[in-house]
Amino acid sequence: MSRPDSFRSPEPLPAALRGMRAPQHVTVLVADVEAFSSRTDTDQMRTREALYEEFRAAFGEELWALCLREDRGDGLLIVVPPRIPKAMVLGTFLPRLERALADRRRGDPLLRIRIAVHAGDVHFDEHGLGGHAVNQAFRLCDSAPLRAAIRTARSDSALLVSDAIHDNVVRGGYENISAASFHAVDVSVKETRTRAWLHVAGDDEAAVRVARETAAAAGRGTAAEDGSGEREPGRERSPERGSESGWGSGREGDGDRTADPTGGISLRAGGDLTIERDSMIAGRDISTGEERRRPRWRRS
């Protein structure tokens, strides 16, 4: 992959650094089209063309040419060079994209897009690009909260930004970026456990609903309850909040927690557990809030 001039160093590297492939701190955007694989081959090709067309129009031809892009089949990886402010990505390009999607709403081909934005060091080589920042962006785009948001939203895009983007951009008071419309969610994808911030343009209720469901599945409160987008007082940020198995994936494992439609919960763990009444558990010592007892085993 050849890099545009916007990614080239304006000055020669010092002698000690020559031969090294120095990473660059950039904005990483990943987009994925909802329900892409269910389309025919012909419709998939038309959808890809429409996806590129809308992003190119949102960025504008001049700035679009400055970005690195990797095709992902049903989506797109965009690396925005350092010279383009992150606030412009969130406050100009993405709102412009949402307006365009609204204009073509339920058009042909249908475009409903999950978008994740992160920032960090990206490494370049003859094969393309990589690094933790790229992995993180893909994890956010593939996360359950973002999938739930686009599945239920009235609008045609859902955005999830990393903690770094939230702290440095969303909360920066920039034009067209309202911190109150970003809601905290816990993300658990593969090895990634992190906090991110969900935004659904034109349907804030969808973002609030997903944030509350995420928090409920993790067994804690949420800053989304007051719509402020702020962290709860006294809560420290942690990359592993809530249950270790994620925000409600339903996968079995130590500390696995699954929502029960009757109002109770079912847990499985290798250690002691404390839960509310009328719940069903399997483990060692059990406490229901009234008394502590050992499980009884019938001898054969």
Q: Which two tokens stand for residue 237?
A: 């940020």
What is the C-alpha to C-alpha distance for residues 33 and 295, in angstroms, rounded to an integer?
49
The whole model's pTM is what?
Answer: 0.68
What is the C-alpha to C-alpha distance for residues 135 and 115, in angstroms, rounded to an integer?
14
Q: What is the 3-state secondary structure (H, E, C) of 149-190?
A: HHHHCCCCEEEEEEHHHHHHCHHHCCCCCCHHHCEEEEEEEC
* pLDDT, mean of each 10-residue run, the chain (300 residues): 53 47 90 89 91 96 94 91 95 95 79 96 87 95 96 94 97 96 94 93 95 85 44 40 34 39 44 48 44 48
Q: Which domains does the chain have, with CATH numbers?
A: 22-243 (3.30.70.1230), 260-300 (no CATH)
What is the C-alpha to C-alpha distance for residues 300 and 261, in angstroms, rounded to an integer?
35
As a residue count, the chain comes to 300
- What pLDDT, on the 0 to 100 scale, is given for residue 35? 86
* Alpha-carbon torsion angle 179, 133, 60, 93, nearest 10: -10
- What pLDDT, on the 0 to 100 scale, is given for residue 191? 87
